[in-house]
Amino acid sequence: MSQAEVANVGTAIIGAGMSGLLMGIRLKRKGLPFRILEKAGSVGGTWRENTYPGLTCDVPSFFYSYSFEPNPDWTHRFSPGAEICRYFEGVAEKYGLLEDISFGTSVVDARFEDGGWTIHTGEGASLRADVLVDATGPLHIKNIPPIPGLDRFAGTMFHSAAWDHSVPLDGKRIGVIGNGSTGVQMMAPLSEVASDLTMFQRTAQWIFPVGNRPYTDRERRWTRRLPILGKLTRFVYKWIFDHASAGVVENGWWRRRMQRGCRDYLETVEDSELREKLRPDHEPGCKRLVMSREFYPTLEKEHVHLETTAIDHIEERGVVTSDGNLHELDVLVLATGFAAHEWGIANVVGIEGVSLKEAWASGPRTYRSVTIPGFPNFFMIVGPNSPLGNLSIIDVSESQTKYIFDCIERIDGQSGRALMPKRSAAERFQNAMREAMKDTVWVTGCSSWYLSPDGDPTLWPWTAREFHRVMKRPDFDDFEWVETG
């Protein structure tokens, strides 16, 4: 098929998760043409993929929701994953987005040619778009650890993001590898069904104590009746998060407060041997903070164990640690996180045939995290150097999609030219970031998915307030038009 015969969708958005839906809503409201390409059969992104026991969002639900679509019916301060997924399904339906989504469509190749994007899908389809928006996010390619013998395990094994709900857990000996937010969240519910539960911890994590509580029917009724209550709650949480997030980027009061909270909480573990096993050797906040009030009490249960001896290999019956001990298991959960630096896109090729992989061979380089020199009419939501830590990523995405929308409006109707950031602007941004990174807690000595292969954190090194300020509107002096004929 020639390019002239391939349908042009206007803006192609990859992914129908939280950000892709948001971008779609913005474009739909203004009547601009777009198509969302989604590899799976339903919306929700990470909330569709992750269904492990105990999954909640550790950002309060009133803040972890679109500002323009409040939900008075949240059941908990930190609502369960399934409820959050239903929220996104409801929003997609309400805004009539389902008709704009091509489900079962995985983008395998996208290249800028002849003034626009040619997109190929794994299902054999091709389409054209003037603008391409990557809304795939960093946390969806599963990290399967290269532990020797992993494939020899004779029990049931799955990654946390591919939970097999057909596997009965009652009375089973369960092992969990990994103690990030995911591993920690699943421990309490698993401990209620397992006969024996072992967490394999490679590096201790700091835990910040935050309790979850259900909202009462009465509270929900009032929030439904008086929507201002929901708005106020959101406002308060946003204020707290916008200010407290300074703790990771500035060495001041918020950092001391956050670090003291973690350190004091560790001291509440009564068993001194367990407490020392749980004591990290890095600063609180260096890795993404884990929020829980259930984790330490769960580890104090008699049938729950924290194994800190390194894993040597895995065999048919279970995990063998480097001291030669065999930990026999029926079920092994890999809560080992995600390949966060793949950025969800296999093959995106910009001008002069340079792929994103090549352009980022020594680490991602963006201009304000949403645009990239050499990649015209291409935008990323929640891409590298977005504020990705303990924040509402929805709040982040709202600013980014607004910024991208402003760019798309500028691009709309411009035939024969495409928009991209100047290299000089991207370099200026990178240099400022590199300088600001020195004050962040992420460079104080730990390994985490925050660090790119070249060792630089791929986060926003300034406050959330600064992020929203900078993203308010594009500075078009920092952009250039590429003549495409």
Residues 417, 397 contacting (CB under 8 angstroms): no
179 scored as a contact of ligand NAP (CB under 6 A): yes
**Size of site (CB under 6 A) for ligand NAP:** 25
Work out whether strand 34-37 and strand 107-113 pair parallel, antiparallel, or are unpaired.
unpaired
Q: Cβ closer to ligand NAP: 97 or 311?
A: 311
Considering only 147, 346, 351, 437, the residue that binds ligand NAP (CB under 6 A) is 147
| Secondary structure of residue 275 in the 3-state scheme | helix
Work out whether strand 479-483 and strand 417-421 pair parallel, antiparallel, or are unpaired.
antiparallel
Tokens matching residue 371: 């645009």
Q: Closest Cα partner for 216 from 76, 79, 57, 54?
A: 76
| Residue range at the interface with ligand NAP (CB under 6 A); choices 255-263, 335-343, 431-439, 469-477 | 335-343
203 scored as a contact of ligand NAP (CB under 6 A): yes
| Residue range at the interface with ligand NAP (CB under 6 A); choices 110-118, 173-181, 225-233, 312-320 | 173-181
- How near is the Cβ of 85 to ligand NAP at its closest, in Å? 13
337 scored as a contact of ligand NAP (CB under 6 A): yes
Residue indicated by tokens 């050499």: 374
Considering only 80, 180, 230, 344, the residue that binds ligand NAP (CB under 6 A) is 180
Which residue type, as a one-letter code, is found at position 4? A
Residues 50, 160 contacting (CB under 8 angstroms): yes
49 scored as a contact of ligand NAP (CB under 6 A): no
457 scored as a contact of ligand NAP (CB under 6 A): no
Task: Give, as one character, the DSSP assignment of residue 97.
Answer: -
Q: Cβ closer to ligand NAP: 321 or 484?
A: 321
- How near is the Cβ of 18 to ligand NAP at its closest, in Å? 12
Which residue type, as a one-letter code, is found at position 312? D
Q: Cα separation of 264 and 369, whole Å?
A: 36
115 scored as a contact of ligand NAP (CB under 6 A): no
Task: Give, as one character, the DSSP assignment of residue 439.
Answer: T
Spatial strand order in the sheet of 11-14: 101-102, 34-37, 11-14, 131-134, 378-380
Q: Cβ closer to ligand NAP: 141 or 437?
A: 141
Which residue type, as a one-letter code, is found at position 355? S
| Residue range at the interface with ligand NAP (CB under 6 A); choices 124-132, 181-189, 268-276, 374-382 | 181-189
Work out whether strand 173-177 and strand 331-334 pair parallel, antiparallel, or are unpaired.
parallel
Considering only 298, 336, 392, 452, the residue that binds ligand NAP (CB under 6 A) is 336
- How near is the Cβ of 442 to ligand NAP at its closest, in Å? 12
- How near is the Cβ of 219 to ligand NAP at its closest, in Å? 22
Provide the strand spans (E) within 122-242.
126-129, 131-134, 156-159, 173-177, 196-200, 207-208
Task: Give, as one character, the DSSP assignment of residue 72.
Answer: T
332 scored as a contact of ligand NAP (CB under 6 A): no
461 scored as a contact of ligand NAP (CB under 6 A): no
Provide the strand spans (E) within 17-172.
34-37, 101-102, 107-113, 116-121, 126-129, 131-134, 156-159
Q: Cα separation of 80 and 56, whole Å?
A: 4
| Residue range at the interface with ligand NAP (CB under 6 A); choices 27-35, 57-65, 88-96, 375-383 | 57-65
List 318's β-bridge partners, or say none: 315, 328
44 scored as a contact of ligand NAP (CB under 6 A): no
Cβ-closest position to ligand NAP? 180
Considering only 24, 178, 285, 364, the residue that binds ligand NAP (CB under 6 A) is 178
- How near is the Cβ of 215 to ligand NAP at its closest, in Å? 18
| Secondary structure of residue 383 in the 3-state scheme | coil
Q: Cβ closer to ligand NAP: 251 or 448?
A: 448
Q: Cα separation of 132 and 12, whole Å?
A: 5
Considering only 9, 21, 37, 57, the residue that binds ligand NAP (CB under 6 A) is 57
Q: Cβ closer to ligand NAP: 54 or 364?
A: 54
Q: Cβ closer to ligand NAP: 178 or 350?
A: 178
335 scored as a contact of ligand NAP (CB under 6 A): yes
**Dihedral angle, C-alpha 309, 274, 155, 158, nearest 10 °:** -90
Q: Cα separation of 360 and 82, whole Å?
A: 35
- How near is the Cβ of 179 to ligand NAP at its closest, in Å? 4
Residues 377, 420 contacting (CB under 8 angstroms): yes
Q: Mask 60-99, x = binds ligand NAP (CB under 6 A)? A: ----------------------------------------
Q: Cα separation of 182 and 45, whole Å?
A: 16
Considering only 9, 13, 133, 177, the residue that binds ligand NAP (CB under 6 A) is 177
210 scored as a contact of ligand NAP (CB under 6 A): no
Q: Closest Cα partner for 53 from 160, 156, 152?
A: 160
- How near is the Cβ of 459 to ligand NAP at its closest, in Å? 11
List 481's β-bridge partners, or say none: 419
Considering only 53, 80, 183, 383, the residue that binds ligand NAP (CB under 6 A) is 183
Q: Please give the residue ranges that form the binding site for ligand NAP (CB under 6 A).
A: 56-59, 139, 145, 147, 177-183, 185, 202-203, 288, 311, 335-338, 447, 449
